Amino acid sequence: MTVATATPTSDVDLYSDESVLAPYDNYRALRGLGPAVWLSRYQVWAMARHAEVYAALHDYETFSSGSGVGLSEELNRVMAGGTIGSDPPDHDRLRRVIGRQLTPKALRQHQDHVQHKAKVLVEELVERGSFDAVPEFAQKFPVSMVPDLLGWPENETGNLLAWASAGFNALGPMNERTMSGFPVLKGLWEFLDQLATSRNLRSDSWGANLVAAVDSGEVEASKLSVLLGDFLVPSLDTTVSALASAIWLFGHNPEQWRKVRADPSLITAAFNEVVRLETPARGFCRLVTKDHELPDGTTLQAGSRLFLLYAAANRDERVFTDPDAFDVTRHNVASHLAFGHGIHGCVGQGLARLEAHALLHELAARVEHIEVGEATWRRHNTIRGLAALPTTLHT
């Protein structure tokens, strides 16, 4: 596709190892170039400013998800059709089936269970003192929660974290990270198909409720494996990222941890600030369905792809004062776009918040100081996350 010579353009490679590990200078540069920037390397538009990303998320007719939300057309064709890769009315129907398990009212019945599991885990880690916060905290908690809620077969272990990682990697370009995940994705799709066929799900589980929606004719039987995957994949890697980032940020900002300990009512805002500053999913793509002119005169042509950079928008200096600072008392932190917004706002964000709030409450009650060692960051197409984080809890 050709673009006008006056179009803001960048040849930055957002998927190089350097950019993946340290993305924020590139995001700042893209924000400075204009409301939308043509990424010549990948032949897509990118939006990095908060106002434009927010507006696009609320205009699904112009910016469509129905043909997939990744950078690779090959994988978009394979992965389209779930709640994240659909438009109304199909999207509304699928989301209604998934969303009824994830409303605030529905989640409240799990609150005591989640809080108890958080207490047990934090007590164990406090007793140990030192550990790696990624596998022993950030991964361990959601991996112990999500399969149970879904009604996972007791004799099935699966490869949850690898499946989730490969699924999000596939939203990037057709690079080595994407291609290395193909065998993993094949295993995930085979497992979901087998699970949808056998319906080997606990009768009181969320998975059984999806089966009931199929049996009632609310959704087609062919969508059952897709819906099971929509529960499984998005609920793991992003939550793992947020929980690990919380430990890393509080470890590096002990004055912010003292504020939370002194006033636990700040925990909700603190978690919002964690996902604003270290947004778990850098963003998703949309298909531009009709020519769209921006205030600076730039025209996004119909048929082009648009990359909505949530992580860049969440550090937009036009919206957030001192945007690179971690501040649990930030007045407008709820304006972040870490969970998306509009009809595609993350349907599972309530569960992620429930898990994170429970863990932070338990930590705040017991831990005076969080000490962290040298962090190792992941090289991943979509997820901003830690691979290892030596941690010591001081009581």
* CATH number for 344: 1.10.630.10
pLDDT higher than threshold 60 for residue 299:
yes
Q: Residue 382 pLDDT more than 60?
A: yes
Average pLDDT, the chain: 93
| 288: three-class secondary structure by DSSP | strand
- The pLDDT value recorded for residue 7 is 87
pLDDT of residue 231: 83
- Mean local confidence (pLDDT), 278-300: 96
Residue 334 belongs to a domain: yes
279/163: higher pLDDT = 279
Flag whether 2 is in a domain. Answer: no
102 neighbors 234 (Cβ within 8 angstroms): no
- Is residue 208 domain-resident? yes
Listed residue (264, 236, 239) closest to 363, CA to CA: 264
The sign one gets for the Cα dihedral 302, 305, 310, 316 is negative
Q: Which domain holds residue 117?
A: 9-394
Angstrom distance (rounded) from CA 256 to CA 271 = 12
Asked if the structure places residue 103 within a domain, the reply is yes
Whether 154 is in a domain gets the answer yes
Give pLDDT tens digits for 235-278: 889 999 999 999 999 999 999 999 999 999 999 999 999 999 99
pLDDT at 153: 76
Query: What would the mean pLDDT of 72-90 be, rounded to a whole number?
Result: 87
pTM, whole model, 2 decimals?
Answer: 0.95
Please tell me whether residue 387 adopts helix, strand or coil conformation.
strand
C-alpha span between 56 and 68 (Å, rounded): 16
- 1 has a pLDDT exceeding 70: no
Q: Is residue 149 part of a domain?
A: yes
- Does residue 168 lie in a domain region? yes
% of the chain with per-residue pLDDT over 70: 97
Is the residue at 1 inside a domain? no
The confidence score (pLDDT) of residue 234 equals: 78
- Total of domains in the chain: 1
